[in-house]
């Protein structure tokens, strides 16, 4: 086993921050006349063979790098992102023993793995997993473990993602009927009401525990995408439904599935209701139940609809950012565009006002003429 310098916080001037045998790096540092910078990370990677750096070692190094990397916002990569990459990358690189194989048949295997795993998923899912692989390859390229990251993915293009349109904006009355439909469980209806009123991502709501609620102020403390702590804002209807749903429960997940956790410690304690032993509801379960109740809606439709409706009702960009957790104003522009439903409703209001406008003085004088003009049958 040889130690390789895979990354460091700041490299001494005149030295390379790319991967190299430790002996060579130390020699470079000595020649530069400066000590090794604090934060240097040494990673054990097997000696490259004809197959190159072992893929498992390379992926482990990348995931450590990812977990400690700060984005443009200055925040460390979120645990959710690290978990997602940790799940996706072994599937993508399955059967590829060393990075050297990516120059030949390993490249074709990588493409086949990605298509097999996510080719039948939504374009957004396929593109997200492809992006995870691209990030890993770019890191390998930076370490000089492969020669051309872009060439490895050449021929495996991103899937076309249609721009969001009004079809995802659900009618307000449809949402109200859905939440009020007592043929559905109180658990599901409360979740749907909370997803709509908070305009939160489903993961942010499903992760809530009872202890996260500030019920007096109708707020819930959650961790947003990217790892930022924030308050979700919910409405009076949701507050009432939460009261009915929770009853005397004071701890544990808010939203529970029907499944009970085994007593073998395989399910984290925070994901289990301590009294009933029911498990926290998963995204997949929540998505399936909403789809069955609506004939095809998905959980994001409720967030999209709420933000669009709020924009139609005059909410400012700042309001929408507080509501949704968006940090980039550009991503809010689509919600400031009215839906077809909103436009139709306003046109109906305009027409109604026109039909009920006060009569003019001439019209009133004609009505006051004496003797009265006989009215035709069916008119007032």
Residue 230 pairs with which residues in a beta bridge? 222
> Is there a domain that residue 315 lies in?
yes
Q: What is the pLDDT of residue 27?
A: 55
Give the range among 22-36, 148-162, 181-195, 224-238 with minimum mean pLDDT: 22-36
The pLDDT confidence band at residue 227, using thresholds 50, 70 and 90, is: confident
Tell me the per-residue pLDDT of 18-68, one tens digit each, with 9 for 90 and over. Answer: 444 444 544 554 554 545 444 444 444 444 455 689 999 999 999 999 999
Residue 278 pairs with which residues in a beta bridge? 260
Both tokens of 284, joined, read 């997949």
Tell me the per-residue pLDDT of 304-314, one tens digit each, with 9 for 90 and over. Answer: 899 888 888 88
Does the pLDDT value for residue 335 go beyond 80? no
Verify that 196 and 241 share a domain, yes or no. Answer: yes
- CA 267, 270, 273, 279 torsion: positive or negative? negative
Residue-level length of the chain: 380
Yes or no: say if 197 and 235 are a contact pair by the CB < 8 Å rule: yes
> Is there a domain that residue 317 lies in?
yes
Does the pLDDT value for residue 153 go beyond 80? yes
What percentage of the chain reaches a pLDDT higher than 90?
50
Over residues 150-157, mean pLDDT: 92
Verify that 73 and 215 share a domain, yes or no. Answer: no
Q: What is the pLDDT of residue 272?
A: 92
Q: What is the pLDDT of residue 40?
A: 45
Q: What is the pLDDT of residue 15?
A: 38
Distance CA 6, CA 346 (A): 60
Both tokens of 294, joined, read 């609506």
Q: What is the pLDDT of residue 146?
A: 94
Yes or no: say if 254 and 213 are a contact pair by the CB < 8 Å rule: yes
Give me the CATH number covering residue 265.
1.10.443.10
Structural domain that includes position 236? 166-341
Does the pLDDT value for residue 341 go beyond 50? yes
Lookup result for tokens 């079809």: 167
Verify that 202 and 284 share a domain, yes or no. Answer: yes
Residue 256 pairs with which residues in a beta bridge? 280
Quickly list DSSP for 120-139: TS-HHHHHHHHHHHHHHHHH
> Is there a domain that residue 349 lies in?
no
Output the average pLDDT for the chain. Answer: 81
Q: Is 163 strand, coil or helix?
A: coil
Verify that 191 and 336 share a domain, yes or no. Answer: yes
Verify that 69 and 133 share a domain, yes or no. Answer: yes
Give the range among 7-11, 137-141, 156-160, 301-305 with minimum mean pLDDT: 7-11
Residue 231 Cα distances to 71, 198, 238, 321, 365, angstroms: 22, 9, 15, 12, 60
- Please state, as a whole number, how many other Cβ atoms lie within 10 Å of the Cβ of residue 119: 10
Q: Rounded to 5 degrees, what are φ and ψ at 334?
A: -65, -25
The pLDDT confidence band at residue 123, using thresholds 50, 70 and 90, is: confident
Give the range among 34-48, 67-81, 123-137 with minimum mean pLDDT: 34-48
Verify that 321 and 199 share a domain, yes or no. Answer: yes
Measured in whole angstroms, the distance separating CA 49 from the mean position of its chain's CA atoms is 40
Q: What is the pLDDT of residue 37?
A: 47
Does the pLDDT value for residue 369 go beyond 90? no
The pLDDT confidence band at residue 353, using thresholds 50, 70 and 90, is: low
Q: What is the pLDDT of residue 104?
A: 81
Q: What is the pLDDT of residue 360?
A: 79
Verify that 212 and 290 share a domain, yes or no. Answer: yes
Verify that 134 and 66 share a domain, yes or no. Answer: yes
Tell me the per-residue pLDDT of 100-121, one tens digit each, with 9 for 90 and over. Answer: 999 888 999 999 999 999 998 8
Q: What is the pLDDT of residue 20?
A: 47
Number of domains making up the chain: 2
Verify that 201 and 145 share a domain, yes or no. Answer: no
Does the pLDDT value for residue 9 go beyond 50? no
Q: What is the pLDDT of residue 50?
A: 52
Q: Is 71 strand, coil or helix?
A: coil
Yes or no: say if 126 and 159 are a contact pair by the CB < 8 Å rule: yes
Nearest one of 282, 94, 91 to 191, comparing CA atoms = 282
B/e letters for 265-297, b = 16+ CB within 10 Å, e = fewer, are: eebeeebbbeeeebbbbeeebbeebbeebeeeb
The helix (run of H) or strand (run of E) holding residue 213 is strand 213-214
Yes or no: say if 55 and 98 are a contact pair by the CB < 8 Å rule: yes
Prior bond of 371 cis (ω within 30°): yes
> Is there a domain that residue 88 lies in?
yes
Yes or no: say if 119 and 113 are a contact pair by the CB < 8 Å rule: no
Verify that 289 and 322 share a domain, yes or no. Answer: yes
> Is there a domain that residue 253 lies in?
yes
The pLDDT confidence band at residue 357, using thresholds 50, 70 and 90, is: low
Q: What is the pLDDT of residue 377?
A: 58
Give the range among 45-59, 71-85, 225-239 with minimum mean pLDDT: 45-59
Q: What is the pLDDT of residue 363?
A: 78
Distance CA 75, CA 78 (A): 8
Does the pLDDT value for residue 336 go beyond 70? no
Does the pLDDT value for residue 142 go beyond 60? yes
């Amino acid at each position: 086993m040889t130690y390789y310098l895979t990354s460091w916080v700041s490299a001494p001037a005149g030295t390379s921050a790319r991967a190299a045998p430790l002996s060579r790096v130390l020699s470079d540092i000595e020649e530069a006349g400066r000590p090794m910078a604090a934060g240097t990370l040494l990673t054990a990677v097997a000696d490259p063979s004809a197959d190159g750096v072992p893929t498992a070692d390379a992926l482990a190094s990348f995931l450590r790098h990812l977990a400690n990397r700060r984005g443009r916002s200055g925040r460390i990569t979120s645990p959710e992102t690290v978990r997602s990459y940790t799940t996706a990358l072994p599937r993508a690189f399955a059967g590829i023993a060393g990075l050297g194989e990516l120059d030949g048949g390993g490249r074709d295997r990588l493409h086949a793995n990605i298509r097999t795993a996510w080719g039948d998923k939504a374009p957004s899912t396929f593109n997200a997993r492809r992006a995870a692989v691209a990030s890993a390859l770019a890191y390998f390229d930076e370490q000089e473990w492969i020669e051309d990251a872009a060439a490895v993915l050449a021929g495996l293009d991103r899937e076309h993602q249609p721009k969001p349109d009004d079809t995802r904006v659900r009618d307000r009355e449809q949402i109200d009927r859905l939440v009020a439909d007592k043929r559905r469980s109180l658990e599901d209806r409360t979740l749907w009401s909370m997803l709509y009123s908070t305009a939160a991502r489903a993961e942010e709501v499903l992760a809530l525990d009872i202890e996260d609620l500030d019920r007096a102020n109708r707020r819930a403390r959650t961790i947003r995408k990217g790892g930022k702590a924030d308050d979700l804002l919910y409405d009076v209807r949701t507050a009432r439904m939460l009261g009915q749903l929770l009853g005397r429960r004071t701890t544990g997940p808010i939203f529970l599935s029907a499944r009970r956790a085994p007593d073998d410690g395989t399910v984290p304690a925070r994901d289990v209701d301590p009294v009933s032993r029911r498990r926290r509801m998963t995204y997949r379960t929540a998505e399936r139940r909403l789809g069955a109740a609506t004939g095809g809606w998905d959980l994001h439709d409720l967030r999209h609809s709420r933000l669009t409706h709020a924009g139609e009702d005059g909410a400012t960009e700042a309001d929408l950012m507080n509501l949704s957790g968006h940090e980039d104003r550009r991503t809010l522009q689509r919600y400031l565009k009215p839906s077809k439903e909103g436009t139709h409703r306003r046109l109906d209001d305009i027409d109604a006002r026109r039909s009920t406008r006060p009569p003019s003085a001439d019209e009133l004088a004609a009505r006051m003429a004496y003797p009265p003009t006989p009215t035709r049958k069916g008119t007032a």
